[in-house]
């Protein structure tokens, strides 16, 4: 029956060529044996628009995704807070299908809910306000109408501000809110498995809600080392690269 792979928070960028190399190797080796590859957000450190695809290190990643796309492996992506502008041209070039967030599917007879996870950090009011501002068609259209260099400069300024804010925010604020998680699980009729990233706090959480048993897996990031989660008919297995 094969297996499916889940990854998130790679934050690929030119300043970390070793992780780009690790990801390209992952795509050309491990991923080629999978049925499905799910990238649950923040594949890139930032994405100013699909017109950046052909530049620098991005081109190498696009090429590797495209090569995987030529095989029988189905690749899917959910937007992250860093790369929510990934769009149709990226999808066309890589054969990666962009999914809505959250996304519910059934694999190996089990209902599985996936998300990037940032929308669950409801205690971080400032972030949610910013998220609402930039995740609409008007903002996107205005932003993408600017030259690429201007967009990159804007993102760099936002990133600096974000890093400064993160240094003074409490860890609890930047984690998911338990009530938000439970509300989402209820909304999707308690899927037995919920997988997300974003918080960079890989873990496995058990929930017993109203007679339902759910597991929440938080994927690890690709800063110190890469990691992936494998799901097959026998269950789940976590692995570091």
Partner 1 sequence: MNTVSEKKVLVCTNFRANPNHPSCGARDSDKLFIALSEELKDTPISTEKSPCMGLCHMGPNVRLVPNGKCFNEASLEKLALITKEIKAFIAC
What is the crossing angle of helices 137-144 and 148-168, to 10°? Answer: 130
Cis previous bond, 62, omega within 30: no
Measured from the CB atom, is 33 or 186 closer to partner 1? Answer: 33
Query: Which residue among 14, 18, 33, 51 contacts partner 1 (CB under 8 A)?
Result: 33
Does 212 bind partner 1 (CB under 8 A)? Our answer is: no
Beta strands in the chain, from DSSP E residues, in sequence order: 3-7, 36-39, 74-78, 96-99, 103-107, 110-115, 193-196, 203-209, 212-218, 227-232, 235-240
Which residue number, 165 or 215, has a Cβ lying nearer to partner 1?
215
Q: Which is nearer to partner 1, 56 or 235 (CB)?
A: 235
SS3 content of the chain, % helix, strand, coil (to 5): 40, 25, 35
Shortest distance, position 33 Cβ to partner 1, whole Å: 4
Identity of the residue, 212 or 239, whose beta carbon is nearer to partner 1 in the bound complex: 239
- Kindly state the smallest distance separating residue 112's Cβ from partner 1, in Å: 16
Place of tokens 């890589």: 94
- Nearest-approach distance from CB 109 to partner 1, in angstroms: 14
Tokens of 71: 């095989």
Residues that bind partner 1 (CB under 8 A): 1-3, 5, 29-34, 228, 230, 232, 234-237, 239
């Amino acid at each position: 029956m094969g297996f499916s792979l889940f990854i998130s928070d790679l934050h690929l960028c030119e300043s970390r060529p070793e992780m780009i190399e690790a990801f390209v190797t992952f795509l050309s080796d491990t991923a080629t044996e999978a049925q499905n590859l799910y990238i649950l957000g923040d594949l890139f450190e930032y994405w100013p628009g699909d017109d950046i695809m052909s530049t620098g290190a991005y081109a190498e990643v696009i090429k590797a995704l495209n090569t995987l796309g030529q095989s029988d492996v189905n690749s899917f992506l959910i937007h992250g807070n860093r790369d929510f502008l990934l769009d149709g041209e990226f999808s066309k070039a890589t054969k990666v299908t962009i999914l809505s967030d959250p996304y519910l599917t059934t694999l190996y007879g089990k209902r599985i809910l996936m998300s990037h996870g940032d929308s669950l950090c409801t205690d971080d009011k400032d972030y949610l306000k910013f998220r609402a501002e930039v995740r609409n068609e008007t903002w996107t259209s205005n932003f993408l109408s600017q030259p690429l260099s201007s967009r990159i400069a804007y993102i760099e300024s936002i990133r600096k501000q974000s890093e400064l804010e993160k240094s003074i925010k409490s860890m609890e604020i930047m984690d998911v809110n338990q009530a938000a998680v439970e509300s989402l699980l209820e909304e999707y009729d308690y899927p037995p498995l919920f997988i997300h990233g974003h918080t960079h706090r890989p873990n496995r959480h058990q929930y017993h809600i109203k007679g339902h048993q759910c597991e929440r897996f938080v994927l690890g990031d690709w800063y110190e080392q890469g990691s992936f989660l494998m799901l097959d008919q026998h269950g789940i297995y976590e692995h570091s690269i």
